[in-house]
Amino acid sequence: MHLHILGICGTFMGGIALLARALGHRVTGSDANVYPPMSTQLEAAGIELMEGYDPAHLEPSPDVVVVGNAMKRGIPAVEAMLNQDLRYCSGPEWLRDNLLSDRWVLAVSGTHGKTTTASMLAWVLEDAGLAPGFLIGGVPLDFGLSARLGSEPFFVVEADEYDTAFFDKRSKFVHYRPRTLILNNLEFDHADIFDDLGQIQRQFHHLIRTVPGTGLIVHPAGSAAVDEVIGMGCWTPRESFGETGAWSAQLIAPDGSHFRILLNGEEVGVVHWAHSGQHNVSNAIATVVAARHAGVPIDASTDALSRFQGVKRRMELRGAVEGIQLFDDFAHHPTAIATTLEGLRRRVGQARILAVLEPRSNTMRLGVHNAELAASLALADQVYVYAPKDLGWDAAAVFTGLGERAAVHDAIDAIVEAVAAESRDGDQILVMSNGGFGGIHDKLLTALRTRHPG
């Protein structure tokens, strides 16, 4: 079968392409942004890529067009697909019908931590010898790729609440029909498609409706937003984690790099790893509970987690220059920003943290989180904000509460110059963005090497 994928270079759709190719299909694709690393990964798999959305890309007609959720009416290839009455479907729909229907699906959902937790879960299953398939919205360092078929029956999927396609406005995750579901947390996000938290909760209720009575839902205890979703109706056994949950953690190291896992107050395992932050401790507990449902003993899970390498762009150390460390993180919501900084602060103690933020997500650019942004950066010693002229709101006013600690720039090179000039031995530079940020990481490392030649 010949699949043509519109929007193929996104992480999710690129993963679909790799899975389809592994199933033996011919795969081609179009995207407005055909560039590494996704382009090289796809081309290495024998997938032909085409720049732009020319209707000619659909000639001769493929057997099915798989449509990414970034596609909209008015795009030439989309209009040609409809006018020619070509067979089409969304990425989640294709995944369900062609791969997930015969699998034990372990889905990881929630506003924050999906990629990291899904990566942990896939690694724990892998380490237990179960060779799971997976589709994750990032690149787990233990695997080096974002998607693979794996062996039956287990398949781990990052379950995103974003809408499915221009013709299907349900959340992606309603297509996956998991047997094991992690619902990590729930806050308002994606203001470009949801009006309020209630709309998001309704989608999570639809997800819960798809989990069988023989399945398991793993969720935080004491979360009002999650409890409200469960209160809409739940027909599946549940296990909770957190301070008041059946599963909890007892920190051995204050930064979360060493902790005990407790079940009903009794120690059942210990994790000692290279990661930090209460959010990662919570992710680890959810992983242990979900893996146990799939048959992995607790001690095997904790042993695997102690060797978990992490995920690209999740507190990824991009380089160090003369005692200055530069980290890259995907944080793009006030809660994620605050928890990432909290984990780093606990790890480095009194060392200075220089936070560099690009408010890039659709929700950020709409200004929805402006009231919480400055407070989310409170643990940073210096804050540098990229505010391009088309940002749409007054960044200087939003961050005024940070006083002289905050600097707003409308040019990336200006941020690079300012951070490099300020940095000194022992500083921790934390760059946060859900995009490429104009290659700022390499620019910063180059500038640091120039200023600190060693």
Asked whether residue 180 is marked as a ligand-binding residue, the answer is no
Domains of the chain by start residue, with CATH: 2-91 (3.40.50.720), 99-305 (3.40.1190.10), 316-451 (3.90.190.20)
Asked whether residue 172 is marked as a ligand-binding residue, the answer is no
Taking the C-alpha atoms of residue 292 and residue 306, their distance in angstroms, rounded to an integer, is 16
Give pTM, 2 decimals.
0.85
Mean pLDDT of 29-34: 90
Q: Is the pLDDT of residue 188 over 80?
A: no
Asked whether residue 113 is marked as a ligand-binding residue, the answer is yes
148: its two tokens: 């693979």
Q: Is the pLDDT of residue 363 over 80?
A: no
Which residue from 401, 369, 414, 408 is spatially nearest to 386, judged by alpha carbons?
408
450: its two tokens: 């120039």
Q: Is the pLDDT of residue 313 over 70?
A: yes
Asked whether residue 169 is marked as a ligand-binding residue, the answer is no
Q: What is the pLDDT of residues 78-125, one digit of tens each?
A: 999 999 999 999 999 999 999 999 999 999 999 888 999 999 999 999
Mean pLDDT of 51-63: 96
Asked whether residue 115 is marked as a ligand-binding residue, the answer is yes
**Mean residue pLDDT across the chain:** 92
Asked whether residue 343 is marked as a ligand-binding residue, the answer is no
Mean pLDDT of 204-231: 96
**What is the CA 135 to chain-centroid distance, rounded?**
11
Q: Is the pLDDT of residue 251 over 80?
A: yes
Q: Helix (H, G, I), strand (E, B), or coil: what is residue 144?
A: coil
Listed in sequence order, the residues at least 6 apart from 64 whose beta carbon sits closer than 8 Å to its beta carbon are 1, 2, 3, 4, 86, 87, 88, 89, 94
C-alpha R_g of the chain: 22
Q: What is the pLDDT of residues 315-357, one digit of tens each?
A: 888 999 989 999 998 877 888 889 889 888 988 899 999 999 9
Q: Is the pLDDT of residue 360 over 70?
A: yes
Q: What is the pLDDT of residues 377-422, one digit of tens each?
A: 999 999 999 988 888 888 888 888 899 899 999 899 999 999 999 9
Quick one: pLDDT at residue 158? 96
Q: Is the pLDDT of residue 372 over 70?
A: yes
Q: Is the pLDDT of residue 65 over 90?
A: yes
Quick one: pLDDT at residue 191? 66
DSSP structure string for 395-423: HHHHTGGGGGGEEEES-HHHHHHHHHHH-
Q: Is the pLDDT of residue 56 over 90?
A: yes
Asked whether residue 114 is marked as a ligand-binding residue, the answer is yes
Q: Is the pLDDT of residue 3 over 80?
A: yes
Q: Is the pLDDT of residue 454 over 70?
A: no
Mean pLDDT of 46-58: 95
Quick one: pLDDT at residue 208? 97
Which range, 29-33, 88-92, 197-201, is most confident? 88-92
Q: Among all chains, which residue has been given the structure tokens 């995907």?
A: 330
Q: Is the pLDDT of residue 273 over 90?
A: yes
Q: Is the pLDDT of residue 36 over 80?
A: no
Quick one: pLDDT at residue 391? 85
